[in-house]
Chains A and B, each alone.
Chain A
Amino acid sequence: MINERKLAFKYLCKKKRRSLSTLFAIALSMFIVFVSGNLIMGAFYASKQAELIRNGNHIAYLEEMNLEQISALEKEGVVLCALENSTYFMGKMGMEDHEGSFGFYYFEDFSNFPFYYEVVQGKTPEKPGEIMINEMWKYFLGEDYEIGDTITVQLTGMELKTEPNQESVVTEENSITRTYTLAGYYRCPEYSWIEDGVVMVKDEPRKEGNTYRVYITSEEEGIEDIESVEGFEEKEDWARNLGEKYGAKVEVNWLFEKSQSEETAMGYCLVLIFAVFIGGFAAIVIRNSFVISIVERTRDYGMLRCIGASKRQIRKIAFYEAVMLGIAGEVIGLIVSYLFLYLVIQIGKEHISFLEEFKFVQRPVLIFGICLIVFLVVLFGLLEPTRQINKLNPLNALRNQKDVKKEKFRVKRRRGFLVAKLFGVEGEYAYKNLMRNRKRFITTTASCVVGVTFFIGTNAAFVYSEQMLEEPGIAYADYNAELYVHSWCMDSEDSLKEELESIKGISNITFCYQEFYRIDNESLKRKEDGVVVKTNYVLALDEGKYPIEKESVEKGEIGELKPGECYVINWGYDDEKKEIVEISDVSVGDKIQLHELILAEDESTEKTISELKVKAVLKEQPFANTYSYYPVLVMSKEGFQALCEEQGMSYEEYGKIHFKMDKNCDTSKVQELADKYGMLFFDEMKDAREAAEQMKMARLVVNAILILVALISSVNLFNSMESNNILREKERKIMRTVGMSKKQYRKMILLEGMLSVIIALILGTALGLAFGYGIYNIMVLTENELKFAVPVESIVFAGVGLTLLTVLSCMGGMKEE
């Protein structure tokens, strides 16, 4: 027996092209929404995962817990990640008296350590008294100690605790010395809690009378899977309740705070907005698809109505069809999405760092949510067809004259003339056909124009944004990397330089031998005969050669610096007292008095040292370094040596090599070199490179979305071409009988599709460039050296792509006799 469901199924099977095109639209929308949803949530979870690794697996910590409380906790089944007993010291470490403030973290057990770290050398402390030191210290201690050596730490000042829970003030006078065994060096990812100045010590077994900070987690919690960062509310409540019970202060790991559930919700919200946006677009296409199938079947439906089918029954047929297409489309979309994501992740992992941590999101919320949205979109696409079914007058439907009657022929001769001239008689016919339904022609063209404008505009913006990133901080483009050199490798200066030069993409290598800075924000005061510098930062340069561009010279001349001469850079800074000496205040020939360079032990012993004559004033900052908001003096190596002699200090102690790396430079080679000589490598370009990668990613995503949207739209074009074909079947036959060849007919149909595209390409490119230029003008206000670039590739791509899509949809929509 034939019922509505079977009829719907038969329609689906018999009208293959229509069904397939609608199916394609649904599957594609599903694909776009699912893939982007997965990427958004995947990125979200990946970043959460990274945070989890950095911040450790504990849910919370309880402060000041005594041994009694701790054993009670254990009996309750709470998993203790670690017992910590930490103190901060100002201290000296090593034979050379390397100074610094460091915190000592005492841990009972490192096997369930609450933070993430990597051991870079040696091993994790196992016995009491063994320590593990941040690798940052390795450069200072590496000369003096080897793994397994006993290390002496002199602790002075600042903190109250010298021993766990033993409160006493350690001053200079009663400074204490402790010895540990160096077990290894560790490294922490950026932003971790246990950064540079921290030393981790294997503590003695639990001591009566001590109190500890106890890191806790629940039994089912693990560090491996982000999926476990769920049920935030319960976990936070659980930790807080424990704290209340034991009267201890509780600090919940932010990853387990309630705000997390809000953040997750926000991620889903983003997906939802995106889905609705794409869905809205797809709904229009799907709606058109359905409407066209109604038009196609007006006769059938009219007849059905005449022989007694109710409106509801007809609506049911349409509904079942939509449901079947919807389900099939979703399933296909889902399968293709999974395959696609799998491939992208497998292939992309090696090239795009973002994908390394990426995971499939297999949450039912996401999958079913998206399925539901797409399904709603399909149903939404049914609204208009339903309305049309309700409007369907069975008799008119049978006569099938509705559409013909509605058409108003208002074709003006003159307008078609240009098209006719360009494309021949087929062009003229095509134009006239388009003008039969002016509104549709205008909407199609307008949407194409918008699409092309957006595509060209955003790509233009991307092109010069990328340009901007390639030259980050144009003001200090001479250098973008630094190597911190220590005394023990200064002997091999020549070979170091040679090796550095041999790395591809490195230029402008400059050695700086000394730098001092003292930040006490004392004012810069102009005296009658010169400027007194108290807060200072001095650079000595390799043989006085400092490749300064002419434009950066504000006053004076650059050339060889003689001892006693200097350049002044970035003179003028905002200090707290607002007694600012502007760059314009310093003139060539001014004498600069440097106050004592070494930290004065006592203000009264401060002595003024030799005067320096200002040879030139530069407006540019010398290097891509971060402290250049302090005034900088540049002097020659010889001059600096003399200065050091006068001050009784060695100039070799610290040094810096500045150089420029271009795009092709292999930074890992530089890192290797740094490791070899025990230097620290600072790559100022790192952020810029990452930003560039993100920008590329953003461009990729935006373009991919636009291309997919164009694909969905082409279904629309395909549909209208096909419906044209059906509605104009008789006309086609007449034209063919009168003598129009198949080729001519094809050309006509193709031109019908292409006219919109041609107009859109011309108008859209113009508008897009204007749009891009507008953005460029806004951006140019801050950065000057960018040139506006026409995104030629994108224009060609849009042209070729749109033409191809149009030709394919026109050919697909054209039924062969």
Chain B
Amino acid sequence: MEILKAEHLLKVYGENETKVVAVNDISLTVHKGEFVAIVGASGSGKSTLLHILGGVDAPTKGKVLIDGEDVYSLKDEKRSILRRRKVGFIFQEYNLLPILTVEENIKMPLSLDGKKPEEAYINEIIQTLGLEDRRTHLPNQLSGGQQQRVAIGRALANRPSIIFADEPTGNLDKKNGYEVLGLLKKSLQKFSQTLVLITHDVEIANMADRIIRIEDGKIIQDEVRAHD
């Protein structure tokens, strides 16, 4: 089942001399349950593509369909709703609200929707991520790895159709990075989620079902990997 479909995406920054084509005619399809890794050199347009796919940055040209819905044909209000219901984001900088506790941060996408969180599910996430004894802590009382785990929890909280992660382990040391990613993968399987992830780390990319390689805003390789 197609969960994400992108058609001829183009993103141009600037004009004339400073003109940069960050994404150059990219089309791709992601299926439910897939774990896609996007790799490429710095400045190749990975983040730009991810943002366009995630519905936060409109492409200059092209279409993005999430769950069959044309994201950029929606008005801002509707698009926000779509984002909080169907999309989860994880950033390199963990980007938690410093004023909220771990639990509140995780529940936030639901709160924004005015929904009552399903306590059992939230507890499960917290447990899976190993944050039980940190529930009431504020972000600045947590380590980087712990903060990223909270961010993962937040991305999972609204049972999104698809999760986008931009170098989620970029700020963590190797050991912590793998731990976080292990948890992410475990959660994905447990909650049968789809993930599109950007990474520079070959080993992490190798954990994915599919690796898309980008250069100068173009897909130069789309490889589906067979796992054991």
Contacts and interface: CB of A to CB of B under 8 A. Distances in A.
Contact of B83 (A15, A306, A312): A306
Interface in A391-408: 393-395, 398
B51 interface: yes
Nearest to B154: A307
Contacts, number: 83
Interface string A276-308: 000000000000000000000001101111111
A14 interface: yes
* Overall SS of chain A's interface: helix
Contacts of A398: 91, 93, 95
Contacts of A307: 83-84, 88-89, 108-109, 112, 154-155
Nearest to B51: A395
A304 B80 CA distance: 10
A309 to B, nearest CB: 5
A2 B108 contact: yes
A781 interface: no
Given A14-B99, A306-B56, A1 B111 contact: yes
A398 B56 CA distance: 11
Contact of A299 (B80, B95, B108, B114): B95
B215 interface: no
B132 interface: no
A1 B107 contact: yes
Interface in A222-278: none
A313 interface: yes
Contacts of A14: 98-99
Contacts of B87: 308
Contacts of B110: 1
A2 B100 contact: yes
Contacts of B116: 1
A11 interface: yes
A10 interface: yes
Interface string A1-22: 1110001001100110000000
B56 A1 contact: no
A6 to B, nearest CB: 8
B162 to A, nearest CB: 13
Contacts of B88: 307
Contacts of B80: 305, 308-311, 313
A2 B77 CA distance: 20
A304 B83 CA distance: 11
B104 A308 contact: no
A299 B98 CA distance: 10
Interface in B162-178: none
B81 interface: yes
B97 A308 contact: no
Contact of B76 (A3, A300, A303, A311): A311
A36 B99 CA distance: 39
Given A11-B99, A14-B99, A307-B154, A312 B114 contact: no
B70 interface: no
Given A2-B100, A303-B95, A308 B83 contact: yes
A455 B82 CA distance: 57
A811 B93 CA distance: 31
Contacts of B93: 398
A250 B83 CA distance: 77
Contacts of A309: 80, 84, 112
A8 to B, nearest CB: 10
A404 to B, nearest CB: 16
B121 to A, nearest CB: 15
Contact of A10 (B83, B89, B99): B99
A313 B51 CA distance: 21
B95 A308 contact: no
Interface in B118-144: none
Contacts of B111: 1-3
Contacts of B97: 7, 300, 303-304
A306 B117 contact: no
Contacts of A311: 76-77, 80
Contacts of A393: 57
B112 A313 contact: yes
B32 interface: no
B185 interface: no
B213 interface: no
B5 interface: no
Nearest to A303: B95
Contact of A305 (B56, B99, B155): B56
Determine which residue in B99, B109, B116, B155 has the highest number of CB atoms from chain A within 10 A of its CB, and name it: B99
Among A1, A2, A10, A299: residue with most chain B CB under 10 A = A2
Contacts of B82: 308
Contact of A3 (B84, B85, B114): B114
A312 B109 contact: no
A309 B111 CA distance: 10
Contacts of A303: 91, 95-97
A1 B117 contact: yes
Contacts of A302: 95
A2 B82 CA distance: 19
Contacts of B155: 307
Nearest to A6: B111
A306 B53 CA distance: 12
A14 B100 CA distance: 10
A308 B112 contact: yes
Contact of B77 (A7, A304, A312, A394): A312
B95 A2 contact: no
Given A3-B114, A303-B91, A395-B51, A308 B98 contact: no
A1 to B, nearest CB: 5
A308 B87 CA distance: 8
Contacts of B109: 307-308
A561 B118 CA distance: 113
B90 to A, nearest CB: 10
Nearest to B87: A308
A176 B219 CA distance: 126
Contacts of B81: 308, 310
A15 B97 CA distance: 13
Contacts of A305: 56, 80
A161 B31 CA distance: 115
A394 B56 contact: yes
A306 B89 contact: yes
Given A309-B112, A313-B112, A10 B84 contact: no
A16 to B, nearest CB: 11
Contacts of A15: 99
Nearest to A299: B95
A14 B99 CA distance: 6
A14 B117 CA distance: 24
A398 B97 CA distance: 12
Interface in B35-91: 51, 54, 56-57, 76-77, 80-85, 87-89, 91
A308 B107 contact: no
A313 B104 CA distance: 17
Interface string A650-677: 0000000000000000000000000000
Residue of B77, B81, B91, B108 most packed against chain A (CB within 10 A): B108
Nearest to B79: A310
11 contacts: A2-B100, A3-B114, A10-B99, A14-B98, A299-B95, A307-B112, A308-B81, A308-B85, A309-B112, A395-B57, A398-B95
Q: Which 8 A-B pairs have the closest CB atoms?
A: A308-B84, A310-B80, A308-B83, A2-B111, A303-B95, A14-B99, A10-B99, A306-B89
Given A1-B117, A2-B104, A394-B56, 7 more contacts: A1-B110, A3-B114, A10-B100, A300-B97, A304-B97, A304-B112, A311-B77
